[in-house]
Each structure stands twice: as structure tokens, then as C-alpha cells.
Amino acid sequence: MLVISKREVERRVLNITSEMARRNLDALYLVSAANIAYVTNFFHIPTERPIAAVVLSSGEKILIVPRLELEHAEKYSYADRVLSYDEYPDEKHPMLVIADYLRGLGLEGKRIGFDVDGYAHIYGYRGPRLSEVLKASYSYERDLIENMRLVKSEEEIRLLRESAKWASLAHRLLQEYTRPGLYEDEVSLRASMDATMAMARALKGIYRPAGWASGARAGFRGQVGKHSYYPHSLTIHAIIKKGDVLVTGATALVSGYGAELERTMIVGEPSEEQRRFFKLMLEARRIALESIKPGVKCSDVDRNVRRFFKEKDLMKYWRHHTGHGIGLEYHEAPFFDIGDNRTLEEGMVMTVEPGIYVENLGGFRHSDTIVVTKDGFEFITHYPEELEDLIIPA
């Protein structure tokens, strides 16, 4: 089965409770959706209704959910117990009910670590901090689970590799379907639909999509032609034309895990300028990749890339760091950034995606997902990277 096993979650919880012991915590209170998934394998749609997972020092995992998620959580989560409150905002605020439940678990006056003190401001949520409604000794322990999530297990890497395959399919279809005159959306929606249906038919019953959207997707998100200059463009219903630079993105959600694959493509014969920036982007990428091995600081990978940008007088085209961790969240710690001095370890999964953004021309960025190995790294994503393989006939 392409899902995280109960045994894997038990291993995680064992690590968590031994770290809780070191930090002198009686309970860990978690509301981040990814942290909840990490400790209970429950995936949900975050709304204004708080959902929390509580890990006790005994290792017991308790989910607290709104009434509408009770049976869903009982069916799909690995929590030992699922408790529920009626609604948000309700006559009694859910945070007060959660406090009652924690009191019932004997946590009043105890030492509680949290990722968020209460609940995040999702949709129309407002409410008190947990520390305002339950007397206890509180500490911010967001790093406790973050530190564990930095290094991926074999099961997690397997899901990410599976994700990468379907992301590749979506991207391949995207490339095949792209032609001048088409809307970016009809290309991306058709590629995403076809890849998703292939994935559903191949994997139905042995994995869980575990997200709002099902399956695989690939698209441009507005990064078409000159508009590819904006690294976080939103869709603009661009019509693809000869001479365009295209920056793509593809992923597929496999039981909560998604790898990232992005490519720069050119529509028709590339111009000299396009060839030049494409080549520089590949060089920056090579420098990043060559820097990756256990023991190297994340910051040094980014520093090496920035040095290249400076040497080649490219800093005016620089817009973002070299990459980020990826797993249960599409961006997560650590970061290939001059400010992140964490050391690379075997099993860390990262994106590598230095980008060059040229006004009135476009963006140049590939992104690949890699896993750090004993000696260096391996690609999780597999897709051609050379310009000649990424030209759209026009």
C-alpha cells in the first residue's frame, strides 16, 4: 500500500515522546494540518473549525475535531481516540471545549508544548489562546516535530518517488499538448485531467489522494511569455504564442506527499538571448546540485549559487533562494538559503530551483526534487533538462 503505515506513525510517536521527555513536556498540542497528519495520518480540510492533535507522554494520540469530522477521523486516522465538539463558534467556544478535554486528560497545571497556542486564523476563526483558557505551563515547541520532519523515512521517500512519476506524466502531457494559439488553461487542465485519471486507474485502492484536489497536475500558473518574469504569477488565461518562454510546475499528491517538478520551455526556435539565460540557469542549477551532500550547510548551497550570480553579473535577475524542503507540505524546512545553517543529512528531501528573471523576456527556472544520500544526492524527479528537449514545435 502506498500509504504511511501504522508502524511508521508509531515510530514517529516514539521519537516524539522521547524528545518530549528531554524537554520535560507532559503533552504536545498540535494544530498545524501537516503536524496533525504526521502524528495521526489524518488529512483534513482546514477551516474555521479548530482541529488539534494531542500527544501524551504515554504515546497516546488524541484527535479533537468538530462534529462533522468525527466519523471521518475515526475511519481514516491512526489516532487512539477521537473527541469532538459541536461547532464553531457555538454557544460554548470550541477552544473552551478543547480546554475541557485537556483537563479531562489530566493536563491542567502540567507542561504543554504547542505549535500554535490555540488555533490559527483560518477563514473566519477568532478565539482565545489555549493558554488563556487552561492553566498550565506552556512552551512554544514548533521545532520539535519540524526537526523530525526534516529527514524523511523510507516510507516517505517511497511516496515522494511515486508522486514524482505521476508529476512527470502530467508534465509530459503538458509538453505534448502545448501549442501556439491555445490558452494556458486548456493545456494545463487537460494534462492534469489525463494524468490524474491515469493515476487513479493505476493506483485506486492502494493510495489516498489526501487533499482537496485529486491526483496529478501540471500547469503554467500565468508564467507564459513575458509574464513568466513574475516568479509567483497567478493564472492570467494567457494564450501561448511562438517565442514565449514558459515556466511550468507539476506535482501529484500521493497519500499526502507531493514532489515538485518545474521546467522552462521555449515555444519555437529559441532566440540567442533565451539560449543564453537558459544556459546560465542550467549552470546555476549545476552549481547547486554539485554542492549537495551530507555535512554541507544548506546556507552554503545557496551561497555558492549566489556567488555564481554575482560573478556573472546576474544579481539584477535574482529573485529567490535556491530551494526548500518538501514532503507533507509543498514548502517546508530546511531551506537552501544563506540564512539556514542547518546541515544536510541523508534522507533530507529538497527542491533545487535557482531562477533567473529577465524583464520583458521571462523567467528561467527548473525545479527538481532530490533526496540527500550517503555520498551526495539522487533525483526524485526525472525529466529532461536540456533546452533541445524542451522546445515546443511552432
Residues 144-163 that bind its own copies (CB under 8 A): 146
What is the footprint of its own copies within residues 40-79 (CB under 8 A)?
A: 43-45, 47-48, 66-69, 71-72, 75
Cβ-based nearer residue to its own copies, 123 or 179? 123
User: Minimal distance in Å, beta carbon 322 to its own copies?
Assistant: 10
What is the footprint of its own copies within residues 242-271 (CB under 8 A)?
A: none
CA angle in degrees (0–180, nearest 5) for 34-377-355:
75
Cβ-based nearer residue to its own copies, 270 or 363? 363
User: Minimal distance in Å, beta carbon 283 to its own copies?
Assistant: 20
Position 90 contacts its own copies (CB under 8 A): yes
Number of residues that bind its own copies (CB under 8 A): 78
Distance CA 67, CA 183 (A): 43
Which 3 state secondary structure label does DSSP give 213? Answer: coil
Binding mask 2-41 for its own copies (x = CB under 8 A): ------------------------------x---------
Question: Do 254 and 155 meet the contact criterion of CB atoms below 8 Å apart?
Answer: no
User: Minimal distance in Å, beta carbon 106 to its own copies?
Assistant: 28
List phi, psi (to 5°) of 128: -75, 160
Q: Which stretch binds its own copies (CB under 8 A): 1-9, 54-62, 88-96, 270-278?
A: 88-96
Cβ-based nearer residue to its own copies, 183 or 379? 183
Position 131 contacts its own copies (CB under 8 A): no
Distance CA 229, CA 227 (A): 5
Amino acid at 121: H
Alpha helices in 178-240 (DSSP H): 184-203
In angstroms, the first-to-last Cα distance of the chain is 43
DSSP per position, 281-338: HHHHHHHHHHH-STT-BHHHHHHHHHHHHHHTT-GGG--S-SEEE-SSSSSEEEEEST
DSSP per position, 169-188: HHHHHHHHH--TTSBHHHHH
Position of cell 516568479?
A: 231
Instruction: Rule CB under 8 A: choose which of 41, 196, 248, 264 binds its own copies.
Output: 196
Instruction: Rule CB under 8 A: choose which of 197, 271, 273, 345 binds its own copies.
Output: 197
Distance CA 54, CA 341 (A): 30
What is the footprint of its own copies within residues 357-386 (CB under 8 A)?
A: 359
User: Minimal distance in Å, beta carbon 224 to its own copies?
Assistant: 12
Question: Do 158 and 132 meet the contact criterion of CB atoms below 8 Å apart?
Answer: no
Beta bridge mates, 218: 250
What is the footprint of its own copies within residues 319-348 (CB under 8 A)?
A: 319-321, 324-325, 329-335, 337-340
Cβ-based nearer residue to its own copies, 93 or 172? 93
What is the footprint of its own copies within residues 228-247 (CB under 8 A)?
A: 229-237
Position 213 contacts its own copies (CB under 8 A): yes
Position of cell 543529512?
A: 345
